[in-house]
Homo-oligomer: A and B are copies of this chain.
């Protein structure tokens, strides 16, 4: 290396490392190829392992690498595009779009879920008696449905759907035992209602322990949280929080059928 220039604004080592590795990935490695292990890479670049790991972490965050404990670090395939906004206004489970019902249960809502349910729909007349007041109280049970989404043979998302018992009259009659069948039964009841509108938001989060397990990631792994609220004339009928693997997924919001095919390229 020598001294090309004494950088006036010294770039952090891990940042420079990341750049070097990134270019090496473009030119000298194929998808799926295994990289040398961390100790050797660190030695090769003359840095401490922690510093090398800082660079690898960034590359993993960007979806360039995949690291698995006990196995090694491999070059990741390009992110898969998963359609999130294409089907306009439909209840969960209405179309066969890769989601699989896993289980259903009943529980009291957490404060966070209550908040989501309480906020009114913009299409409903605001200020009316329907919004706000204790339609969904903390002591009213909420049905929860777990689903997972599989794309190209890989679990890319885990979802938790919250349906207040008050939203759907027929819900209390469901007597299926816990399991996929019960989950599907809850969805069927929900689909009886007339859907008035929906509402989505995307933000960065870290995987809770249970979601991490479904996604085959470590707890705390970066995820994209997609929160959807389903509105009926009566207000917010259901809320779902879908946890997408941020390392492997690109969420697409194309209008019917349009799809971005690939992003990453060499050089």
Contact = CB atoms under 8 A, between A and B. Distances in A.
A224 B202 contact: yes
B206 A249 contact: no
B79 A200 contact: no
Interface residues of A, number: 57
Given A112-B264, A197-B255, A258-B121, A203 B58 contact: no
Contacts of A122: 254, 256-259
Contact of A115 (B123, B206, B254, B262): B262
B119 A253 contact: no
Contact of A203 (B115, B119, B201, B250): B250
Nearest 8 interchain pairs by C-beta: A122-B258, A204-B246, A203-B250, A200-B253, A122-B257, A201-B252, A199-B254, A202-B251
22 contacts: A58-B206, A61-B206, A62-B204, A62-B205, A85-B200, A85-B253, A111-B265, A111-B267, A115-B262, A119-B262, A122-B254, A198-B255, A199-B254, A199-B258, A200-B252, A202-B253, A203-B249, A203-B250, A204-B222, A204-B246, A227-B260, A227-B263
